[in-house]
């Protein structure tokens, strides 16, 4: 898939003139038009495109919101209310932005689970995977700091609790926390710097996305069979096949997005965030945004000391560890077979993991008391066991199913008889170059 020689031939004089000086149209043509993709990609593979468009959407709505927003503790809450009530179409832009963040995370979670299911992280795609993990980290930082900006009760106390994590670090913890806050508590300096960073980070994400796509185009996409592309009949051209499929999936995704924005815009938010921040009163029940809940549950599951590590540091380490472990997944999975389609046991453990992650999310929204704590401990144990035990061990002992020899063979076997499948799937890719 990689390094295929370019088939771009500029048709106009201007096209040739530009191509000789800066072949940007050629790059676009080779990357998004002629670029060969496996012919058997399913809808799970459309989330990369959805993520890209969501990033653009967040940046667009964000920049417009920033024109009306004021990063000052005395004014921020009212500025957001002004956006909601006075600014023309302000309510729509804000709901697009706040629900857009949720949609963005929803898409990234599907994208990550897709990767775990089809073994997308395996050689030679380790770097591609790691770049994805970096994007996810940056997204989390951006989402967290964005949530502080409306300066409601959850903004303030969420920021207090999350920056409080750093005080768990021995010796330098408090120093680091004060460095982040610019004071001894969350206050005006904190709001100001969070706004500056919230504006900056999405552009850094865009930069890493470029690297992510670059790496993708060097090694090529995986596909549900996990078998590498071997011949031309295994692929179709990006345009029109992938473009249409991605476009159609985006449309469906936008319907869901619109449903949230227009019918239940505050469903994923917390009502306490419509109460202005009050540094002297903690809400009865602090919860982060839904997309952080599984990690919040892991944080609170560590209620016991582990040797010299007290429960507070232990919780923080477990929470960061839950994200850090994603980075080493390519080296934890020992299986020679890439896709879960041919790994009956892995498939089972994978779906258990999905359920476990959702369960952790639900536990994160519950108070940390009684049986919830014990359940969170069990769920946390499985979360880590999936990566640290199941992945390495299963790869060594599991007997995979028989694999087809190529993507083409797999596709033809599925559509036995050949005649029944839509013309698009077989329209010979050769004619597309």
Residue number with CB closer to another protein (41 or 162): 162
Q: Which of 33, 44, 141, 161 binds another protein (CB under 8 A)?
A: 161
Does 371 contact another protein by CB under 8 A? Answer: no
- Burial string for 62-77 (b: 16+ CB within 10 Å, else e) reads bebbeeebbbebeebb
Per the structure block, which two tokens stand in for 78? 């009212």
SS3 37: strand
Q: Which of 97, 300, 338, 366 binds another protein (CB under 8 A)?
A: 300
Q: Which of 170, 189, 207, 247 binds another protein (CB under 8 A)?
A: 189
Contact (CB, 8 A) for 110 and 53: no
According to DSSP, residue 276 is labeled B
| Burial bucket for residue 34 (CB in 10 Å: 0-12, 13-18, 19+) | middle
Separation between Cα atoms, residue 71 and residue 56, nearest integer Å: 23
Separation between Cα atoms, residue 382 and residue 244, nearest integer Å: 39
Shortest reach from residue 111's CB to ligand HEM, in Å: 14
As a whole number of Å, the end-to-end CA separation of the chain is 13
Q: Which stretch binds another protein (CB under 8 A): 62-70, 105-113, 225-233, 311-319?
A: 311-319
The entry of ligand HEM, another protein, none near residue 169 (CB within 5 to 8 angstroms by kind) is: none
Does 178 contact another protein by CB under 8 A? Answer: yes
How many residues contact ligand HEM, by CB under 6 A?
26
Contact (CB, 8 A) for 172 and 127: no
Which residues inside 27-66 make contact with ligand HEM, applying CB under 6 A?
55, 58-59, 62-63, 65-66
State the sign of the Cα–Cα–Cα–Cα dihedral 322, 360, 117, 386. Answer: positive
Shortest reach from residue 414's CB to ligand HEM, in Å: 38
Residues that bind another protein (CB under 8 A): 157, 160-161, 163-165, 167, 178-187, 189, 193, 279-282, 284-286, 300, 303, 310-312, 315, 367-369
Residues that bind ligand HEM (CB under 6 A): 55, 58-59, 62-63, 65-66, 69, 80, 94, 97-98, 101, 104, 139, 142-143, 146-147, 149-150, 198-199, 202, 205, 269
């Amino acid at each position: 898939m990689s390094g295929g020689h370019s088939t771009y031939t500029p048709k106009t004089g201007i096209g040739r003139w530009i191509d000789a000086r800066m072949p940007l149209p050629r790059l676009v043509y080779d990357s998004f038009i002629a670029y060969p993709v496996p012919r058997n990609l399913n809808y799970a593979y459309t989330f990369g495109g959805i993520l890209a468009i969501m990033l653009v959407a967040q940046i667009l709505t964000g920049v417009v919101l920033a024109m009306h927003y004021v990063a000052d503790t005395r004014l921020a809450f009212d500025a957001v209310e002004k956006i909601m009530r006075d600014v023309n179409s302000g309510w729509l832009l804000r709901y697009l932005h706040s629900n857009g963040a949720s949609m963005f995370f929803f898409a990234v979670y599907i994208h990550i689970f897709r990767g775990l299911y089809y073994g997308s992280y395996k050689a030679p795609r380790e770097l591609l995977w790691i770049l994805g993990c970096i994007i996810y980290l940056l997204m989390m930082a951006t989402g967290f700091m964005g949530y502080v900006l409306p300066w409601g009760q959850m903004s303030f106390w969420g920021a207090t609790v999350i920056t409080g994590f750093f005080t768990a670090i021995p010796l330098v913890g408090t120093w680091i926390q004060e460095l982040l806050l610019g004071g001894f508590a969350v206050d005006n300096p904190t709001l100001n710097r969070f706004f500056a960073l919230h504006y900056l980070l999405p552009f850094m994400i865009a930069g890493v996305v470029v690297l992510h796509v670059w790496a993708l185009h060097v090694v090529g996409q995986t596909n549900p069979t996990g078998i590498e592309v071997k011949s031309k009949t295994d692929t179709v051209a990006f345009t029109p096949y992938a473009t249409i499929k991605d476009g159609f999936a985006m449309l469906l995704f936008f319907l869901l997005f619109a449903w949230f924005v227009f019918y239940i815009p505050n469903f994923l938010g917390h009502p306490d965030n419509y109460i202005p921040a009050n540094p002297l009163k903690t809400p009865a029940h602090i919860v982060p945004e839904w997309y952080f809940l599984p990690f919040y549950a892991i944080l609170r599951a560590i209620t016991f000391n582990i040797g010299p590590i007290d429960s507070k540091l232990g919780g923080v380490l477990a929470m960061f560890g839950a994200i850090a472990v994603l980075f080493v997944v390519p080296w934890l999975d020992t299986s020679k077979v890439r896709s879960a389609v041919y790994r009956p046991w892995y498939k089972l453990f994978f779906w258990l993991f999905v359920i476990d992650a959702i369960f952790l999310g639900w536990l994160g929204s519950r108070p940390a008391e009684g049986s919830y704590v014990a359940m969170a401990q069990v769920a946390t144990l499985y979360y880590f066991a999936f990566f640290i035990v199941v992945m390495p061990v299963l790869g060594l002992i599991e007997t995979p199913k028989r694999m087809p020899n190529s993507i083409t063979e797999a596709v033809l076997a599925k559509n036995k008889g050949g005649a029944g499948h839509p013309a698009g799937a077989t329209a010979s890719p050769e004619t597309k170059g």
